[in-house]
Structure 1
Amino acid sequence: MRRVVLLLLALPLLAAVPQAGRPRIAVGGIAHESNSFNPAKTLLEDFALRPTGPLPQIFDQWAKANDICSGYVEGARKYGLDLVPTLIAAATPKGPVAADAFETLTTELVRRLRAVAKLDGILLDLHGALVSERYPHGDAEIVRRVREAFGPALPIVVTHDFHANVSPEIVRLSTALVTYKENPHVDTRERGVQAARIIAGAAAGKLRPVQALAKPDMMYNIVFQYTRREPLLPIVQESRRLEANTKILACSVAGGYQYADVAFMGPSVVVVTDGDPALAEREAKRLAGMLWATRDRLKLDLPDAAAAVRRAASGDRFPVILVDMGDNIGGGSAGDSTFVLSELLAQKASGWVVVLADPAAAAEAARRGIGADFEGLVGGKADRLHGEPVRVRGTVKSLHDGRFLETAVRHGGQRYYDQGLTAVIEVEGSTRDLQSLLMLTTRRQ
């Protein structure tokens, strides 16, 4: 992935040709989900830019994906907007963003936004769970600086991930806030279109967005954040039903992000109406009450790794997916937990696939080459929270560059991935019919 430090020089070449009568909308964003409990800070070099190149190429890449920016493009075509990309940076979830990285990116974003001539509005793609060394709610600080640069009148519509920790400040500073409704995040493009509709109406003076926030005093563990079943399903359905009311421009229910140790962590409801603050407040409080009513159902009963492997190995329906809930790369964890791998080896299970982020082990496998014997310690190297390194013996089955294209609408709607040099090890004890495979990646993806 190309890095922001290089791309900062390339983006000033981008420019859109304005069309008479069409609102001119800048697109920008700094997206990061920051895990307060990960000791590894997120540095400037961890950030990469979304599609780069000539403007038509950027729009073409966005149009083929299913993320928020894809929705912005679809919405721009639908509602007659001229979009101008500025700085759109993102990094894989990790520890809090280093202070210098936050300052560099935010300053550059504001500078690029200021450079856009005849600006009628701004679409900001912010994750909603960015924590920096200095700011517990980095997203709100970004919006504060953008608002300070452009004044109170310019429409600024913000989009957030479902796992956003929404604070009163960002609701106060933005014209409208829209979050994903679904987890997994399969509705990102839809939310981008929704945001484009709101900013088109606001820029033209046809809509007067006002919004209200309600936050119940609770935490929604990620185990319960699947939106296609209880307890969240009826609440998400109600948010969609409310949006059938032409006075309600957006009704967002965010599950929150439990790995950010901040005061406003937890679920939230944001309702945006067309000039009706009382309606926004009433419905936000009502849906927050629906969240609160589920609190007694949020009881965890998860097996440990040993029990999970025993249960999986003794079953008769396959495949079985074992998820280490404490090592979620998408939540900023290390990606090298060895608890499940240790149990698979200890219990002599076969016919399994495990993926670990271990650049040193991947490089060693590549050095040995395809078909060579492999023996080494894998995983458990990033910190002491995810198990000890485990000794693995086997054969290097294949090597890959780690790049792949996601064609389906899955997590966040992203399309282009690069997990770096990747090695697949066929672990000792595999049979022709039941291979046990260990995939070692260089990057956490």
Structure 2
Amino acid sequence: MTRIAIAGFQHETNTFAPDETTLDDFIQQGAWPALTRGDDVFQVFDGLNIPIAGFMSACRHQMVPILWAMAEPGGYVTDKAFDTITGEIVDGITRASPDAVYLDLHGAMVTRAYPDAEAEILRRIRARMGPDMPIAVSLDLHGNLSPAFFDLASVVTIYRTYPHTDFAETGARAAALLDRAMAAPLFKAYRQGDFLTPITAQTTDHSPAKELYAALPGADAVSVDMAIGFPPADIPDCGPSIFAYADTQEAAEAAADAALARLKAAEPEFDARLVPAAEAVRQAMAMTGPVLIADPQDNPGAGGTSDTTGVLQALMDASAPDAVLSMLHDPAAAQAAHAAGVGARIEIELGGGHRQYSDPVRATVVVEVLSDGKFTCSGPMFGGAHADLGPIAGLRIDGTGIRVVVGSVRCQNLDQEFFRVAGIEPGDHAIICVKSAVHFMADYKRITPTVLFAVAPGANPCDLTAIPYTKLRPGIRLD
């Protein structure tokens, strides 16, 4: 019987984020499962919308689970974390002595030692298992993928939606493509795009990404996928890349060229849709709600600190009569609220933990709801996944209709349960503010089609011309 070793190691690295990503960040549970080993992988991921779950569901071979780990996007992954987890994966694969390998990776991991971390993972596996071992990899649409990575992987599949509602589907495609590659040789081709786009312009709910991804895979290819890239990463291979697989080299090259031509033609259409925070609040107050205001530059799903106060301050300055915001990362505020108890009125500082982006907001707040931060997501991306975000508090700015959810674990708000855990039904409020860039749309579009992208300082600048790049490859453009 064919035996497949399976493992996962995911991180999206913002090289401009202020805080490193440590081994503890991979071990602890947040909105994603905690680090999981061995046969526990079968139980933890069964039925979840996560790539390794999709692979397991579609795979018809004996699987040997090694390890799965993911940390919330953030700054450089420490070399200790990378070497520890990669070493355990490589050792596990070596012990398993499989016929093939499947890896659930991201594609945008960076360490100080390895700017192309996913390629390094594959190099270490190849060093043990040899150049002919079939290795299938599923990747995030935001991967920054190098020629070296392309050469080292046998076959690759990439998410085709943003918000990423096709996690599991992408893992299942990897299982099918691996089967195809093991049955007969596949020819492959790789291309890189020459421009970067802000993440708020990349959603497949809107043009041009909607049409670009709908055009995949192409009539004559077995598989074609595109990673549009993760902009806040100062590395040479930052940006779009295309992977094509076919029965002939000619067909693979033609499919890759066609996808690249479509990408280049679409460049002028990408629009970040940014509005200054104060203007976003003004516009939202003039509309019939609910209106959603995203805070993409403090999106923890892109390495944001999730503690900036630009949008909150704009709500307070405008005396917004009915607004809710989630989730502000402020463990101290959450702890103070829990110590005070429900109904207490306390003086407090909110957010501003990274003063390079914003100052704390000083306010009197009423503690309305307290929670242990444990809940189950219900939206299209993570429905069924269990979150554990530590102590959470629902606070109301005294004398106003502004409510803030403060939490103890930095995490992107991509599900309405990030409000409900604090007793707030988001659709009942005029203005809904989320610390997210695009992923929120999968769930929140079910309650409002009206979205504004507010510009306030944060670790994920969506105006790419404001990012101090020094390592991009020559000729790449910032759109």
Tell me the TM-score normalised to structure 2 length. Answer: 0.81
Task: Give the aligned partner of residue 398 of structure 1.
Answer: 369
Aligned equivalents of 1:62 and 1:210: distance in 2? 32
Q: 1:54 to 1:39 in 2, by over 3 A?
A: closer
Task: Give the aligned partner of residue 84 of structure 1.
Answer: 64
1:52 Cα offset (Å): 4.3
Q: 1:342 to 1:416 in 2, by over 3 A?
A: same
Give the alignment partner of residue 46 of structure 2, picking from 58, 63, 82: 63
Which residue identity lines up with residue 286 of structure 1 in the other structure?
A
Matched, 1:425 2:391: no
Structural mapping, 1:168-183, within 5 Å? 168-183=147-162
1:386 Cα offset (Å): 2.6
Task: Give the aligned partner of residue 245 of structure 2.
Answer: 272
C-alpha RMSD of matched pairs (Å): 1.8
Aligned 8 A contact 1:336 1:386 in 2: no
Task: Give the aligned partner of residue 17 of structure 1.
Answer: none
Matched, 1:190 2:169: yes
Give the alignment partner of residue 335 of structure 1, picking from 306, 310, 323: 306
Aligned equivalents of 1:32 and 1:133: distance in 2? 14
Task: Give the aligned partner of residue 181 of structure 2.
Answer: 202
Matched, 1:94 2:74: yes
Aligned equivalents of 1:379 and 1:416: distance in 2? 26
Task: Give the aligned partner of residue 409 of structure 2.
Answer: 443
Structural mapping, 1:86-235, within 5 Å? 86-117=66-97, 119-203=98-182, 206-235=183-212
Aligned 8 A contact 2:35 2:67 in 1: no
Task: Give the aligned partner of residue 288 of structure 1.
Answer: 260
Structure 2 residue matching 1:131: 3-state secondary structure: coil
Q: 1:301 to 1:29 in 2, by over 3 A?
A: closer
Which residue identity lines up with residue 86 of structure 2 in the other structure?
T
Aligned equivalents of 1:82 and 1:130: distance in 2? 29
Aligned 8 A contact 1:51 1:58 in 2: no
Aligned equivalents of 1:414 and 1:106: distance in 2? 28
Task: Give the aligned partner of residue 28 of structure 1.
Answer: 7
Structure 1 residue matching 2:342: 3-state secondary structure: coil
Aligned 8 A contact 2:155 2:181 in 1: no
Aligned 8 A contact 2:8 2:52 in 1: no
Give the alignment partner of residue 312 of structure 1, picking from 266, 277, 284: 284
1:217 Cα offset (Å): 0.6
Aligned equivalents of 1:403 and 1:207: distance in 2? 47
Aligned equivalents of 1:44 and 1:302: distance in 2? 35
Aligned equivalents of 1:98 and 1:25: distance in 2? 29
Aligned equivalents of 2:397 and 2:344: distance in 1? 12
CA deviation vs aligned residue, 1:314-357 (integer Å, no higher than 9, x gap) = 21x21111112211111011011100100111111121111201
- In structure 2, list runs of 5 or more residues that go unmatched: 28-32, 412-479
Structure 2 residue matching 1:308: 3-state secondary structure: helix
1:408 Cα offset (Å): 3.5
Structure 1 residue matching 2:314: 3-state secondary structure: helix
Q: 1:443 to 1:253 in 2, by over 3 A?
A: same
CA deviation vs aligned residue, 1:40-76 (integer Å, no higher than 9, x gap) = 1111111036574883x64244232111011111111
More moved, 40-49 vs 90-99? 40-49
Extract structure 1 runs of 4+ deviating beyond 4 A.
Answer: 49-54
Matched, 1:369 2:369: no
Which residue identity lines up with residue 216 of structure 1 in the other structure?
G
Aligned equivalents of 2:269 and 2:44: distance in 1? 42
Aligned 8 A contact 1:198 1:207 in 2: no
Which residue identity lines up with residue 53 of structure 2 in the other structure?
S
Aligned equivalents of 1:292 and 1:406: distance in 2? 37
Aligned equivalents of 2:207 and 2:128: distance in 1? 43
Q: 1:171 to 1:231 in 2, by over 3 A?
A: same
Tell me the TM-score normalised to structure 1 length. Answer: 0.87
Task: Give the aligned partner of residue 475 of structure 2.
Answer: none
CA deviation vs aligned residue, 1:179-200 (integer Å, no higher than 9, x gap) = 1010000111111111011222
Q: 1:441 to 1:175 in 2, by over 3 A?
A: same
Aligned 8 A contact 2:188 2:252 in 1: yes
CA deviation vs aligned residue, 1:330-389 (integer Å, no higher than 9, x gap) = 1011011100100111111121111201111111111111111122111111x2343111
Aligned residues: 405
Which residue identity lines up with residue 391 of structure 2 in the other structure?
L
Structure 2 residue matching 1:326: 3-state secondary structure: helix
CA deviation vs aligned residue, 1:205-238 (integer Å, no higher than 9, x gap) = x132332111121012112111122111221111
Which residue identity lines up with residue 120 of structure 1 in the other structure?
D
CA deviation vs aligned residue, 1:157-197 (integer Å, no higher than 9, x gap) = 01110111111111100101111010000111111111011
User: Larger RCO: Structure 1 or Structure 2 (Cα < 8 Å, ≥ 6 residues apart)?
Assistant: 2
Which residue identity lines up with residue 308 of structure 1 in the other structure?
A
- In structure 1, list runs of 5 or more residues that go unmatched: 1-20
1:81 Cα offset (Å): 1.1
Aligned equivalents of 2:119 and 2:105: distance in 1? 9
Task: Give the aligned partner of residue 237 of structure 1.
Answer: 214
Which residue identity lines up with residue 443 of structure 1 in the other structure?
V
Aligned equivalents of 2:277 and 2:207: distance in 1? 26
